[in-house]
Amino acid sequence: MSNIITYDYFINDVNIPYSDSTMKTRLTNAITRFEEECLRALFGDKLYDAFITGLAVTPTPDAKWTNLRDGGVTFNILLNGETIQKTWKGLNGGTSKKSLIAYYVYCKFRNANETFFTGVNQAKGSSENTEVAEYKPIISERWNQFVRMYGQIPYDVFTATPFAPVADTFYYDEASAYNFLMANITTYTDWRFTAKDLINEYGI
């Protein structure tokens, strides 16, 4: 299966300039590597394999797989006795291209390639010239945004990873992948979730 996202997802707050063919190739290679890593953590191996196989069905994949990928479907979160309706934007982020995969790949790519970012790094103004800004706060902000889109889970919940989520156990008022899968747990019965934690600018 081809990648869910492409290099042109790296815009706005996950911006990585890709005007030259070398950077496009590097980003595509990073997506190929890290997208699978991200989704295996989100789904578990069994559901991931079923997802890939299901999307490959022609001419029309089952809606449960395209809903995961493309979003545009509503679901309900149950929090403190209140039912809250949310819209799942899909793994591909819909028309906004704000994809949790892009945030994940961005952080992994930046951490792996920071020494090559002399022309790409964040910069801050100086009275005489421009100097490179510290990138770790940027990475931590993007990683934490990824976690919120992926599914933020209280730290004391996930003692085992991956774990089998318990039905009707929602966390936070987010249209996260975790909450969407939880709302549809009877459809995605093979789901196993590996939680990701928030970090600070020091990576802890």
- Per the structure, the count of domains in the chain is 1
Asked whether residue 192 is assigned to any structural domain, the reply reads no
CA 127 – CA 160 distance, rounded (Å): 51
CA 107 – CA 54 distance, rounded (Å): 28
pLDDT, residue 161, reads 77
pLDDT, residue 64, reads 97
Q: Per residue in 43-86, pLDDT tens?
A: 999 999 999 999 999 999 999 999 999 999 999 999 999 999 99
Contact 160, 128 (CB under 8 A): no
Q: Per residue in 93-152, pLDDT tens?
A: 999 999 999 999 999 999 887 644 444 444 444 434 334 445 577 899 999 999 999 999
Asked whether residue 69 is assigned to any structural domain, the reply reads yes
Asked whether residue 119 is assigned to any structural domain, the reply reads yes
pLDDT, residue 62, reads 97
Asked whether residue 189 is assigned to any structural domain, the reply reads no
Global confidence as pTM: 0.87
pLDDT, residue 123, reads 41
Asked whether residue 61 is assigned to any structural domain, the reply reads yes
DSSP line for 170-202: --SS---HHHHHHHTTTTSTT--B-------TT
pLDDT, residue 200, reads 76
Asked whether residue 78 is assigned to any structural domain, the reply reads yes
pLDDT, residue 155, reads 78
Q: Where are the beta strands (DSSP E) in 89-177?
A: 123-125, 130-132
Residue 1 reports pLDDT greater than 90 = no
49 C-beta neighbours (distance < 10 Å), count: 13
Asked whether residue 193 is assigned to any structural domain, the reply reads no
37: domain range?
A: 7-183
| Bridge partners (DSSP) listed for residue 124 | 131
Q: Per residue in 147-172, pLDDT tens?
A: 999 999 987 776 667 899 999 999 99
Give the confidence band of 188 by pLDDT, cuts at 50, 70, 90: very high
Q: Per residue in 18-49, pLDDT tens?
A: 888 999 999 999 999 999 999 999 999 999 99
Asked whether residue 202 is assigned to any structural domain, the reply reads no
